[in-house]
Structure 1
């Protein structure tokens, strides 16, 4: 993928979040994952599955769903989400777009999924984040990588 296409995907997602955060009565998405980002016939990314948090609050999450949940929300067992949690999820999705791999490349990790989720939830002085070191998009502004890391 070229930088324009990557940035277009990221822009569409951030525009959707901006609408939900500032103009919607919902206030936040709360369940944002790459599965909730659908592409229409004009290659515009649309966000889906928002506004249903109360319906899903008691539903058991799949283990992989925790890869998009902010560590502070996991620690607080806060199932509805927050705006800050959406920003974290946006960064995880952006890392997926850039690396073309699953979040944290969990399928290729030596440690299991349970251990990865535990390390993310636990946090620490150096938080666990997806690796962006092998991103190979030639004309991508390095500031984009810094933006993702800061989310």
Structure 2
């Protein structure tokens, strides 16, 4: 397993290098990959925090979700309340993710992450900074126990993220 695989995926998503995205996703999907997707969630949280800041309201989040869904065809297939809940969880309301499936969470995190990265049009240095911050977040969080629910781990991680800002 290449340790920088998810970092490379985030860079490819940010730059719209869809051929690289396809190759990286195929590598992630191979049996025996053994990695975790925590970096995607961490990058999502960093990008959301950078975009919204501390003064956002639930109405700001709802307007953002409405715009993002309207601008992109795939956004229509994602559940609005779950999108709002994940964003608001990253902004300090982690209890909103309790009933969101891992699959839905990953779909929403990827959609919002790509939307924000493409909207911001980050320089390579800014993108490296975002990825480094996300990697640092992941490094500080203990891995969940095998039977621990992902949502419990995510609540802890999101609280920690909010506390560290």
Larger relative contact order, structure 1 or 2 (CA cutoff 8 Å, min sep 6): 2
TM-score (norm 1): 0.30
Quick check: which one's helix share is greater? 2
